[in-house]
Structure 1
Amino acid sequence: MSKSSDAGHFFQTTDALATTERKAAKAKNKHGNPIELPSKVLAVLAIDDGSVYVAEAAGEVKRVVLETNQVKRISSPAPAPITSLALSQATNTLYSGCWDKNIYSIPLVNSRSGTKQRLTGHTDFLKCLLATSLNGHPILLSGGADSAIIVWDLNTGKQLHKLKGHTKALQDFAIDPLNIPEGSAEPGDSFVLYSASSDPEIRRWHVSLDSAYELPESLDKPILGHDTSVYRLRFDSEGDLWTASADKTAKHLVRSRDWEADTVLQHPDFVRDVAVAEQSGLVATACRDEEVRVWDMSSGDLICTYSGHFEEVTGLALVSGGRQVVSVSIDGTLRQWSLERKEMARYLEEQKREEDGEPETDPAEKSEGGMLTAEEEAELAELMDDDD
């Protein structure tokens, strides 16, 4: 007897059918200049040459050149989904964390090592990676669903330290920028690591080549800015934290106020990622409701909601000097969104036309000389305030 995997051949509720139809219709949209990939995209990492690396559920890592939409596979397929990526500048090697509990190294062009490594030490699948160095010595930090943090020596591929403190799966890491010497991109002989997990506690650790331990203030009083899982940690230039959580908020936690939240960005579903574009005074968030939102950093006002993905948005990366944000999704697409206020206003205007069923208008036909009408200028001013 033949078997079918077509969902249409199985019993489905009315709600499930409606959701399937909605997503099928939405999948046809071209918002954000979608670049289609063959499987679910679970992580994205931007690099300085106008490209991003993406991690796929099919076990592959690909490099995407944003200007040309060129997609190139850079690794042999892993035996399970790739969940996380980290780039070591010191060794010119990309590291990928996998559901099979291993970390795979991918030597890049002109890599010093030129050899592939497999780092084995976690007892459950990988969730997050962070590459850095201590006094020029390359290290990698990994977090797993086993709630463990491992510090790896990238010269030898061996473990330096294994840290336990969280009670649930690790989700993200961030190095305290106040530990990084002025004018340097890397820490000196030690740093403080902030970690987030599927429990609501943000913990702090001292890490050096010789030792690693949880700080006494973290043991006594972990940072509790959320009610449940914290998916992302991002520091701003002031040393404050921006966080994304399953409690349906992104928050700005202020160091000088003992990590009190002074900005709370409410969402209708889990917030998977947050990206801080300080030069533009903006924060972008990725939500399980398929949307990418852009907020004003100072006021917390919602400026723009980008609709294009038709499944959960899993990650964000700032590109073009913070003038754009790239989003990736379970829907297998990568999309690019402007963080220029005029472009966001233009997008909102076109979205309104689509909703109203009006044809797209050529900007040159708006008024004589291609300028906006006074009424449209007023609407833009109200939406965006100004473009400074």
Structure 2
Amino acid sequence: MSRSDTNADYFFQTSASIEQIERRKAKSKNTLGRPIKLPSKILSVLADPYDERAVYVAEAAGELKRIVLETGEQIPVSHHTAPLTSLALTPSGQRLFTGCWDKHIYSTDFESGESATLTGHTDFVKCLLATSISGVDVLISGGSDATIIVWNLETSKPRFKLKGHAKAVLGLAVDPLSLPASSNLPGKDFVLFSASSDREIRRWRVNLENGFEEPESLEKAITVHETSVYSMAFDSDGDLWTASADRTARHLVRERGWESDTLLEHGDFVTDVLVAEDLGLVVTACRDEGVRVWDMSSGELVVDYQGHFEDVTGLVRAGTSTVVSVSIDGTLRQWSLDRVEIGRYVKEREDEEHSGGPVQAKVEKLKKPALSVEEEAELAELMDEDD
């Protein structure tokens, strides 16, 4: 009699799904990345700009928490009744925002202790970006309703909405070359990049009064990926790094009309990308449970950190040489970006594999059946609708 006949946990499951459960159960015991365990899936992470030893996390259980990395202390900030999808903190550090499945955005004012609810989206809030225009804090949000909203934080009402995407808006980023040379904060206006599950990256000119899609974007949106673009990050040259459900992260060169000149291939959807330019590194998060560090110049893989046992959902930098990853496995993990430490990690894993050591070095991934581009796009769309 098979295990599926004797264990209720395995009723009505395929052999592949049972193997997946067993593999994840074994891998969950690993201590790589000094895991900090939370009670539910972690959907977003944000660095605390005033304390490199702490981050904020958004949980599927509706909890917003501040996590002290050194001790693992979990400090509740607010609680909501639906999964929290995204986080943003105003440049002044006064207000923290969380996007939610219930279509609302919630804010916490650290100075006054007051909270507010921003209502304007008609579907899940997928991404948030807090910035400043002419010294005025503003919040920008994107949703599954294919809409971008620029918010008036004094009234908690929308200033205006931007529409152009056909599907969910998944990522937002400010073009650093549209900012005043003397400051890293926007002046009277700036260019906003938006990424979507329609695979397009669009560009918008935004100020306090209104916004419009840039003529070059209307003429030709950036479409280097085959399906959903989840995340974007700029480097100091103003080039763009992107993460997509087509299993790639890419480097798009501005001077060549956003042509892709570096392709970072993965085994599954790439959910986030982080640029550590001072170290010459790019870090990616993947649905295949990996946190990968790449050489920025060559595109060569430096290390594949394997500690999570479910999809990795976000990355954030903590200090100079640490990247923090979060996952729907409910853990937060810390990984070194120091090349000497990376070399030591790689050597230890190789030694453990050769000697038949700890389970974390021996875990093998369950191979997933290859899907066509069309099937991948359809699956990505379904995921975007469900997230």
Output the TM-score relative to the length of structure 2.
0.88
Contact 2:91 2:132 in 1 (8 A): no
Task: Point out where structure 2 has 5 or more consecutive residues left out of the alignment.
Answer: 1-6, 359-387
1:33 is aligned to: 34
Deviations 1:146-179 (A, max 9, x none): 0000000111211111111000001000001012
**Could you say which residue in structure 2 is the equivalent of 1:336?**
334
Match of 1:156 in 2: 155
Task: Evaluate the alpha carbon distance shift between residue 283 and residue 7 of structure 1 in structure 2; reply closer, same or farther with a 3 A threshold.
Answer: farther
Q: Which residue of 2 aligns with 1:53?
A: 56
1:100 is aligned to 102
Shift of the alpha carbon at 1:210?
1.6
Mapped contact 1:138–1:155 kept (Cα < 8 A): no
Partners of 1:158 and 1:191 in 2: CA distance = 21
Q: Where does residue 186 of structure 1 map in the other structure?
A: 185
1:185 Cα deviation (Å)? 2.9
Distance 1:21 1:100 in 2: 34
Match of 1:119 in 2: 118
Count of matched residue pairs: 350
User: Retained in 2: the 8 A contact 1:287–1:313?
Assistant: yes
Radius of gyration: which is bigger?
1
* Aligned residue identity for 1:125: F
Alignment CA distance shift 1:330-1:7 (3 Å): farther
Query: 1:182 offset after TM fit, Å?
Result: 2.6
Shift of residue 357, structure 1, vs aligned partner: 3.0
**1:30-51 Cα deviation digits (max 9, x unpaired):** 0000000000000000123021
1:91–1:138 Cα contact (<8 Å) kept? no
Query: 1:66 Cα deviation (Å)?
Result: 1.1
Partner of 2:13: 12
Offset from partner CA, 1:300-354 (integer Å, 9 cap, x none): 0001000000000000001112x11100001000000001111111111111122
The offset of 1:191, in angstroms, is 0.6
Structure 2 counterpart of 1:371: none
Tell me the alpha carbon deviations over residues 168-221 of structure 1, each in whole angstroms, 9 at most, x when there is no partner.
001000001012223423100001100001011100001011211111110001
Following superposition of structure 1 onto structure 2, how do residues 219-238 of structure 1 map, counting pairs within 5 Å? Answer: 219-238=218-237
Matched, 1:86 2:102: no
Give the structure 2 partner of residue 364 of structure 1.
none
> Structure 1: which 5+ runs fail to align?
1-5, 361-388
**Residue of structure 1 in register with 2:261 after alignment:** 262
What per-residue deviation string (whole Å, max 9, x for no partner) do you get for residues 95-148 of structure 1? 00000000000122xx2x542110000000100000111111111001000000
Aligned equivalents of 1:136, 1:301: Cα separation in 2: 41
Residue equivalent to 1:383: none
Per the TM alignment, residue 14 of structure 1 is displaced from its structure 2 partner at its CA by: 1.0
2:309 maps to a residue whose letter is: F
Give me the whole-angstrom Cα distance separating, in 2, the residues matched to 1:233 and 1:344. 25
Q: How big is the shift at 1:91?
A: 6.0
User: Please, what TM-score do these two structures have when normalized by structure 1?
Assistant: 0.88
2:67 is aligned to: 64
CA RMSD in angstroms, aligned pairs only: 1.3
Query: 2: distance between equivalents of 1:93 and 1:190?
Result: 21
Output the amino acid matched with 2:353: E
